Amino acid sequence: MTTGTRRRMGVEERREQLIAVALDLFSHRSPEDVSIDEVAEAAGISRPLVYHYFPGKQQLYEAALRRAAEELTARFVEPHEGPLGARLLRVMERFFDFVAEHGPGFSALMRGGPAIGSTRTGAMIDSVRQAAYEQILAHLGIPDPAPRLELVVRSWVSLAETTALLWLDGRRVPRAELERQLVHDFAALAAVSAAYDDQMAEVVRRVLADEPADGMFADLVLRLGRFA
């Protein structure tokens, strides 16, 4: 019978609540500065009860991180319709949304704070990178890329990561500009690589065939042309 006291949560429901509370705390402050006491307080339960669900802060942190990784990976999903540049721009917008929402936690994680880092957190980060890589290949329609294409896509994923991290450090450049710039960077890196390799050139040509005359790549060539 409920008699005005708080309803007792089921095991899964309570775990989910703790993960959500922890993710929120870890997103707004460096995870190293968040204590289990704070998690307990924010969840409205006792410290021992938190330990009942998660044996330590590391386990709770990893569960929160897994949730964040799933959320970010979901944001990479984009319909296979329209010019590639516009698709990539929409994904970049959602990526920067995520980064803005989880700023301090994202920074601490990516800068590899050793106090909280582990083989498992490293593997989670790599799985997000891999998801981004595979999404791009799927949009390009090339599931099994040659080494040069793999290198361009993976290094661009890393560039997007670094750009977001640098942006977080003071947010001194408008994020909308960086989202657009990263799409241009992708085209530029692909085009530079295409100069060395016929298969890459074919990829770039095929992508451009779908680009509108006023699309992202045309804009890039115009911009570069100012310096030619």
Nearer to its own copies, 13 or 126 (CB): 126
| DSSP designation for 157 | H
Residue 168 CA to residue 70 CA, distance in Å, equals 21
Candidates 53-61, 78-86, 99-107, 185-193 — which segment interacts with its own copies by CB under 8 A? 185-193
In angstroms, what CA-CA distances link 125 with 70, 73, 120, 194? Answer: 11, 11, 9, 29
Contact of 88 with 157, CB cutoff 8 Å:
no
Residues 80-119 that bind its own copies (CB under 8 A): 111-112, 114, 117-119
The separation between CA 149 and the C-alpha centre of its own chain, rounded to angstroms, equals 21
* Residue 189 in the binding site for its own copies (CB under 8 A): yes
Query: Exactly one of 52, 210, 212, 223 binds its own copies (CB under 8 A); which one?
Result: 223
Query: Exactly one of 16, 139, 159, 199 binds its own copies (CB under 8 A); which one?
Result: 159
Residue 135 CA to residue 186 CA, distance in Å, equals 14
Nearer to its own copies, 138 or 221 (CB): 221
Closest approach of its own copies to the CB of residue 191, in Å: 5
Query: Exactly one of 172, 198, 213, 214 binds its own copies (CB under 8 A); which one?
Result: 172
* Residue 227 in the binding site for its own copies (CB under 8 A): yes
Output b/e per residue, 3-38; b: 16+ Cβ within 10 A: eeeeeeeeeeebeebbbebbbbbbbeebbeebebee
* Size of site (CB under 8 A) for its own copies: 49
Closest approach of its own copies to the CB of residue 206, in Å: 11
* Residue 7 in the binding site for its own copies (CB under 8 A): no
Residue 147, burial from CB neighbour count under 10 angstroms (0-12, 13-18, 19+)? exposed
Query: Exactly one of 9, 42, 137, 188 binds its own copies (CB under 8 A); which one?
Result: 188
Candidates 43-51, 52-60, 64-72, 188-196 — which segment interacts with its own copies by CB under 8 A? 188-196
Contact of 199 with 149, CB cutoff 8 Å:
yes
Run of H or E residues at 90: helix 84-101
* Residue 220 in the binding site for its own copies (CB under 8 A): yes
Run of H or E residues at 21: helix 11-28
What does the longest C-alpha to C-alpha distance in the chain come to? 78
Q: Summarize as ranges the residues that interact with its own copies (CB under 8 A).
A: 111-112, 114, 117-119, 122, 147-148, 150-151, 154-155, 158-159, 162-163, 166-167, 170, 172-173, 177-178, 180-181, 184-185, 188-189, 191-196, 201, 204-205, 208, 217, 220-221, 223-228
